[in-house]
Amino acid sequence: MNTSTAPASQRVHYLNASYGVKSWLLTTDHKRIAILYLIGVTVFFAIGGVAAALIRLELLTPAGDVLQAETYNKMFTTHGVMMIFFFMIPGIPGVLGNFLIPLMIGAKDVAFPRLNLLSWYLFMIGGLTALWAVVHGGVDTGWTFYTPYSTVYSNGWVVVTAVGIFISGFSSILTGLNFVVTIHTMRAPGMTWMRMPLFCWGMYATAIIQILGTPVIAITLLLVAAERLFHLGIFDPAQGGDPVLFQHLFWFYSHPAVYLMILPAMAIISELVTAFARKPIFGYKFIAGSSVAIAVLSFLVWGHHMFVSGQSVYAGLVFSFLSFMVAIPSAIKVFNWTATLYKGSVSYQTPLLYALGFIGLFTFGGLTGLMLASLGLDIHVHDTYFIVAHFHYIMVGGTIMAYLGGLHYWWPKISGKLYPEYWSRVSAWVIFIGFNLTFFPQFIVGYLGMPRRYHAYPDEFQVLNVMSTAGASILGIGYVIPLVYFFYSWRYGKDAADNPWGATGLEWETPSPPPTENFPETPVVTGRPYDYRTDEEEKAVV
């Protein structure tokens, strides 16, 4: 289907098919909705980033001199709420999932295009509601909203924030539902499950968590709001309620939510590694299966957040054991990616730099996760900077690295333009260095005993905190560079070819940028994915 296409400027594609704000705000085209998500999550990421900058600025010195204790609490809550609920969770599914799933399976659109647009609106309404609450009213509970602080004592706008998260939860559910139905019912002829790109497998596993986990956080936050508004006592010890029950319900969603953030990242990495190693992916079935295994297992381990909460020790033992089990499918993926790279003809282009960064940092974050999963050690480092460093290695070192890698890889398809090669490499390195300088010292300072969520700390921790703040500054610059050159290339970049990487996959067989209905004619799939072998190699194998 390698049609020689006219330059993007001379042909009708999804970007120039119609003009005006209305044509974007009322679009049902999954590709345009992806762009809407890109704008939304970038804004929320920037706001979360500003809060992070203020946190790191405060921690430059041991004394609480920049922010008051309460303001500091509001800042880390803003950072957590914005980053988790309005950047990490909707980010990759909303942007790349929306853009790519129909393209990858050879469909004209997702199964429910209007629902897809509704998802974006719910996401924005929820995000802006929560933003209004954390900025105007202030919330100091942390993104975890632990009771009884959140229900009885906190003076912040807990209810409004909860409503914002509740609304965007609907967005998450509807997105996941849309993706699952799309993958089940909209695949092109010949696109069997075992021929489906691993990105779609990863998004399918993600959707399982979105559908089955999100309703529980919705009801939990609703009960918290009901308790604040009507003085019901579901979690109130004064009425016989149990705050630990809140933690159970909260983490039933919020632990799988971590996988909601990392599974799409893994999905991207599987695509990048095979494209830049010019080799079929090693162990396709294992990678696909491990995504689903992670999605299921993720629901069985939530109690490892509650080792010091008053939860039964016996439940803790089981949770600890099950948490170790999650390492198995995660490790399978890492092994398969490295095996794919092994003896491949690797070209170190920007997306692969991000992918390699992901593999290293994710492994690091994962291994420290095993330390935290062990019941005894967790008691020592619980609620210290060790855990802050651990989950930032997964979420920033893992998810954001993969998100940026994926954005670079598919940017020619999304925008029809090439990003500047030199600057993209610079930014990849700046982000990698800045990230490690920010968060590696936090492992040490946490292990030495510095607790999280305090705006002041003892003098002996200052050197490590200064390193961390310096790293955060570098990291911030690293994020601004791609923002600038993506904008620049959108307008001034060179036109991209239909398949600039020479990669496999249906999304590369349609023009860049794709026409509104994705393919000139419905594609028919005849072979397995990632078939990078040349004809000679094919013969040698036979």
Binding site for another protein (CB under 8 A): 17, 28, 107-109, 111-113, 115, 173, 177-178, 180-181, 184-186, 208, 211-216, 218-220, 222-223, 226, 230-234, 239-242, 244-245, 248-249, 252, 299-300, 302-303, 310-315, 318, 516-517
Distance (Å) of CA 54 to CA 49, 68, 76, 460, 474? 9, 12, 9, 21, 15
Q: Based on CB atoms, which residue is closest to another protein, 215 or 449? A: 215
First to last CA, the chain: 26
3-state class (DSSP) for residue 417: strand
3-state class (DSSP) for residue 514: coil
Least distance between another protein and beta carbon 151 (Å): 12
C-alpha 428/C-alpha 340 separation (Å) is 22
Q: Based on CB atoms, which residue is closest to another protein, 316 or 420? A: 316
Least distance between another protein and beta carbon 444 (Å): 33
Across the strands, what pairs with 417?
A: 495
Q: Based on CB atoms, which residue is closest to another protein, 69 or 222? A: 222
Least distance between another protein and beta carbon 20 (Å): 16
Q: Based on CB atoms, which residue is closest to another protein, 47 or 107? A: 107
Distance (Å) of CA 208 to CA 91, 253, 299, 373? 16, 12, 11, 24
Q: Based on CB atoms, which residue is closest to another protein, 73 or 98? A: 98
Report the half-sphere exposure of 400 (CA within 13 A, side-chain side).
22
C-alpha 151/C-alpha 138 separation (Å) is 15
Sequence-ordered list of residues with C-beta below 8 angstroms from that of 448, at least 6 positions apart, any chain: 460, 461
Q: Based on CB atoms, which residue is closest to another protein, 180 or 191? A: 180
Q: Based on CB atoms, which residue is closest to another protein, 135 or 296? A: 296
Task: Say whether the peptide bond before residue 441 is cis (omega within 30 degrees of 0).
Answer: no
Q: How many CB atoms lie within 10 A of CB 71?
A: 15
Least distance between another protein and beta carbon 481 (Å): 37
Least distance between another protein and beta carbon 58 (Å): 36
Least distance between another protein and beta carbon 232 (Å): 4
Q: How many CB atoms lie within 10 A of CB 116?
A: 25
Least distance between another protein and beta carbon 67 (Å): 35
Least distance between another protein and beta carbon 215 (Å): 4
Q: Based on CB atoms, which residue is closest to another protein, 26 or 63? A: 26
Least distance between another protein and beta carbon 163 (Å): 15
Q: What angle do CA 380, 386, 389 make, to 5 degrees?
A: 160
3-state class (DSSP) for residue 44: helix
> What tokens does 216 get?
């529980």
Q: Based on CB atoms, which residue is closest to another protein, 500 or 515? A: 515
Helix (H) or strand (E) holding 363: helix 350-373
